[in-house]
Chains A and B, each alone.
Chain A
Amino acid sequence: MKAVLLGATGGIGRALARRMAARGDQLFLLGRDEASCERSARDLEAWGASEPVGTARCDLLDPSSFAPALDQAAARLGSLDTAVVSAGIFGTQEALERDADLRHEMLTANFVGTIGFCEAVRPRLLATGDGTLCVFSSVAGDRARRPVTLYGAAKAGLSYYLAGLDARYRREGLRTVCVKPGFVHTAMTAGLRPPPFAAEPDAVARAVLRAIDAGRPVVYTPAIWRLVMLGIRMLPRAAMRRLEF
């Protein structure tokens, strides 16, 4: 596999990249902090990446960084058959309501930036005739819930877009994998009270890698969240006005 990863410097992306490295995939890292990308590249080489891992600057908040970063990745990897986007930011509902700058940044990075990046990488993956685009959305995008309406709105939009890519391009050889994690213990969720079924990044990464290999269009992880969200989607509006989950 020749994969470009955006957001592998930390969290679930780091765990996923290590699993890909350990099985000898060829990797190229993109991220907003070049020094951090370099450190992660060394880490992935130690974990077994088959070639030296290249890096380039790419910031979801700076669309002009997408094409040059992907050019560098393609040049280094020769071609490119897989792209993984686990970059994203989170804010609590309270913080996002209070802080207009944070809200703008979250909506821009998680929706506008992420879709912009996917559009930039799409033609390159289509060109291989058998490409995979794996993007992290969230269970928060499945149904509007009181504690995550703003973050959830961005993720809902993203999930919608990814379902559209699947409908439009799967037949042409682009497999879209939309990842919907539940609560995962990473820096993103540090300090929040873990709900039931909270998972470790490595367990989530294992499920995501299986989904990438199988080309599954949607993966809930931990898997129980598929059922949880099925239930929540069936709740009446009146119940959603009370539900604190």
Chain B
Amino acid sequence: MLGEDLEALTRDAVLTRGLGRAYGDAAMPPRPGAIVAGSRFADRVLALDEDRGILRAEAGASLARLSTLLLTRRLAVPVVPGTGFVTLGGMIAADVHGKNQHVAGTIGDHVLALRLRLADGQIVEVRPPEHETLLRATLGGMGLTGHILEVELRLDRIPSPWILEERETYGDLDGLLAALLRDSAAWPFTVSWTDALASGRSLGRGVVMRGRWARPDEAPAHDPPQGLQVAFPFDLPSWALQPLSGHAFNHLYRAAARVGARRRLAAPFAFFHPLDAIGAWNRAYGRRGFTQYQCVVPREVGTGPVAHVFEELQRRRVPCYLAVIKDFGRHGTGLLSFPRPGITVTLDLPLAGDETQQAVDALNQIVIAAGGRVYLAKDLLTRPEHFRSLEPRFDAFQAARRDLDPERRIHSALSVRLFGDDA
């Protein structure tokens, strides 16, 4: 169900869905025919205080559109994920992280208030310190604590609407991870792309990208082109997304290795949402059957588990070309927030039936042994028993849910798969 009036839409809904960019089943109905409220037309800005840097908007507002509004005013959403085609509600339900996780935390660290419809129909203004527990359950709670109607966020003030970016290549995993951590000590935005097919001594070879907002004296006087050159891909199911190809990686690697390509000014849209910018969405139709897998392993356990992930994929001949590796700083504040201090790896996985299930099982074993976690926004195949081992926080979350929604009126395909809900 879609419409402008989210308050009305959520009255009888079992779940709210944003732009459907979660790779797994988090935004899918628990059973065919269950009423899911679609928020994407509820996208009005309700207040923008430019002096104090505070935004309040309806939960269906998309990051891409908000950014076009904010950048010209030298403001920015403080945490943005790898695609701009997400809603505020979806960002909060997944407690998303970005390239600045090591310094800025997750989006939840910047939320001032939410307007939330609870399972019993009641609507509450969640504004800490009041409702602290409700907020913590909602951050990363994958929509299971209530329908987010409005969001109030603290914004970042930026010196210019341009990003100054540098790239450097490294020949192996140890070199790459060391560089990533070194860069994160000095730069607000860092990430790396790794050749998932490289093995032996060049296992983990890749490119580290680092960036910061450019100072006015470094930036052109004009604003960068606004991002939305690609058609807004509303109805694209996430499993139809184009995988990152080996071709794209090699292109990036060679470009980064070339002298002179090291430092450049980038439009924020291209820097934060490279996949949106290369138009992968447009070509995605008809190329079904991909999902993603993202895990984090604690820093204490060293780089071993990260190497094991690649070795395991290669041993199983999973056609995964590219992995994104990023260091995390602090924990997310949500009861089920994904980020924790450590190293996170994101992979494209082709959906090839049982083989993919077994690959995910094997990866989860590595992550369980390492004391890590998987990201629910990118998960389709984790088994409930593995999830329990991965999530010591599960019981606390279920307890919070029991208080909020004893009948589990709010549920999703994900909560049926992993949280023991009835469809």
- Chain A residues near B (Cβ < 8 Å): 9-11, 14, 36, 39-40, 42-43, 46-47, 185-187, 190-191, 194, 200, 202-203
Check if B44 sits within 8 Å of A39, measured CB to CB. yes
Complex interface: chain A residues within 8 A of B45 (CB): 42-43, 46-47
Given contacts A9-B4, A187-B4, contact A40 B232 (CB under 8 A): no
Give bound CA distance, A190 to B235, whole Å.
11
B352 within 8 A of A: no
Give bound CA distance, A186 to B232, whole Å.
13
CB-based nearest B residue for A200: B232
- 10 example contacts (A-B, Cβ-Cβ < 8 A) are as follows A36-B4, A42-B45, A47-B45, A186-B41, A187-B2, A187-B3, A190-B3, A200-B234, A202-B228, A203-B231
Check if A200 sits within 8 Å of B231, measured CB to CB. yes
Closest Cβ–Cβ distance, residue B232 to chain A (whole Å)? 5
Check if B46 sits within 8 Å of A36, measured CB to CB. no
Sort A-B residue pairs by CB-CB distance and give the 10 closest, nearest first.
A190-B2, A43-B44, A46-B45, A46-B48, A10-B4, A187-B3, A43-B45, A200-B232, A42-B46, A39-B44
Give bound CA distance, A191 to B36, whole Å.
13
Most buried by A among B3, B45, B228: B45
CB-based nearest B residue for A186: B41
Give bound CA distance, A42 to B55, whole Å.
12
CB contact between B232 and one of A10, A14, A42, A202 (< 8 Å): that residue? A202
Give bound CA distance, A194 to B234, whole Å.
12
Complex interface: chain A residues within 8 A of B4 (CB): 9-11, 14, 36, 187
B69 within 8 A of A: yes
Check if A187 sits within 8 Å of B232, measured CB to CB. no
CB-based nearest B residue for A43: B44
Check if B69 sits within 8 Å of A185, measured CB to CB. no
B259 within 8 A of A: no
Complex interface: chain A residues within 8 A of B48 (CB): 46
Tell me the B45-61 residues at the A interface (CB within 8 Å). 45-48, 58
Complex interface: chain A residues within 8 A of B46 (CB): 39, 42-43
How many B residues touch A, CB cutoff 8 Å? 19
B38 within 8 A of A: yes
Give bound CA distance, A202 to B46, whole Å.
19
Closest Cβ–Cβ distance, residue B383 to chain A (whole Å)? 34
CB contact between B41 and one of A10, A42, A47, A203 (< 8 Å): that residue? A10
Give bound CA distance, A186 to B235, whole Å.
12
CB-based nearest A residue for B1: A190
Taking A9-B4, A11-B4, A43-B44 as known contacts, 15 extra A-B pairs with beta carbons closer than 8 A to each other, sorted by chain A number, are A10-B41, A14-B4, A36-B4, A39-B44, A39-B46, A42-B45, A42-B46, A43-B45, A47-B69, A185-B235, A187-B3, A190-B3, A190-B38, A194-B235, A200-B231
Interface SS, A side: helix
Give bound CA distance, A185 to B69, whole Å.
22
Most buried by A among B2, B4, B47, B69: B4
B5 within 8 A of A: yes
Complex interface: chain A residues within 8 A of B44 (CB): 14, 39-40, 42-43
Q: Mark B54-78, 1 if CB is under 8 A from A, else 0.
A: 0000100000000001000000000
Q: Mark B230-249, 1 if CB is under 8 A from A, else 0.
A: 01101100000000000000
Closest Cβ–Cβ distance, residue A140 to chain B (whole Å)? 21
Give bound CA distance, A43 to B38, whole Å.
20
Check if A187 sits within 8 Å of B69, measured CB to CB. no
Give bound CA distance, A174 to B228, whole Å.
35
Give bound CA distance, A191 to B69, whole Å.
29
CB-based nearest A residue for B41: A187
Closest Cβ–Cβ distance, residue A201 to chain B (whole Å)? 9
Complex interface: chain A residues within 8 A of B1 (CB): 190
Give bound CA distance, A14 to B61, whole Å.
13
Complex interface: chain A residues within 8 A of B38 (CB): 190
Complex interface: chain A residues within 8 A of B5 (CB): 36
Give bound CA distance, A43 to B4, whole Å.
13
Give bound CA distance, A190 to B45, whole Å.
22
Closest Cβ–Cβ distance, residue A15 to chain B (whole Å)? 10
Complex interface: chain B residues within 8 A of A11 (CB): 4, 41
Check if B234 sits within 8 Å of A185, measured CB to CB. yes
Give bound CA distance, A203 to B1, whole Å.
23
Closest Cβ–Cβ distance, residue B3 to chain A (whole Å)? 5
Closest Cβ–Cβ distance, residue B205 to chain A (whole Å)? 40
Given contacts A200-B231, A200-B232, A202-B232, contact A46 B47 (CB under 8 A): yes
Closest Cβ–Cβ distance, residue B143 to chain A (whole Å)? 20
Complex interface: chain B residues within 8 A of A40 (CB): 44
Given contacts A9-B4, A187-B3, contact A42 B47 (CB under 8 A): yes
Complex interface: chain B residues within 8 A of A9 (CB): 4
Complex interface: chain B residues within 8 A of A42 (CB): 44-47
Check if B231 sits within 8 Å of A191, measured CB to CB. no
CB-based nearest B residue for A40: B44
Give bound CA distance, A186 to B38, whole Å.
12
Complex interface: chain B residues within 8 A of A203 (CB): 231
Closest Cβ–Cβ distance, residue B226 to chain A (whole Å)? 11
CB-based nearest A residue for B233: A200
Complex interface: chain B residues within 8 A of A186 (CB): 41
Give bound CA distance, A47 to B47, whole Å.
10
Give bound CA distance, A212 to B44, whole Å.
24
Most buried by A among B44, B46, B69, B235: B44
Complex interface: chain B residues within 8 A of A187 (CB): 2-4, 41
Closest Cβ–Cβ distance, residue A92 to chain B (whole Å)? 16
Closest Cβ–Cβ distance, residue A38 to chain B (whole Å)? 10
Closest Cβ–Cβ distance, residue A58 to chain B (whole Å)? 17
CB-based nearest A residue for B68: A22
CB-based nearest A residue for B47: A42
CB-based nearest A residue for B70: A46
Tell me the B1-28 residues at the A interface (CB within 8 Å). 1-5
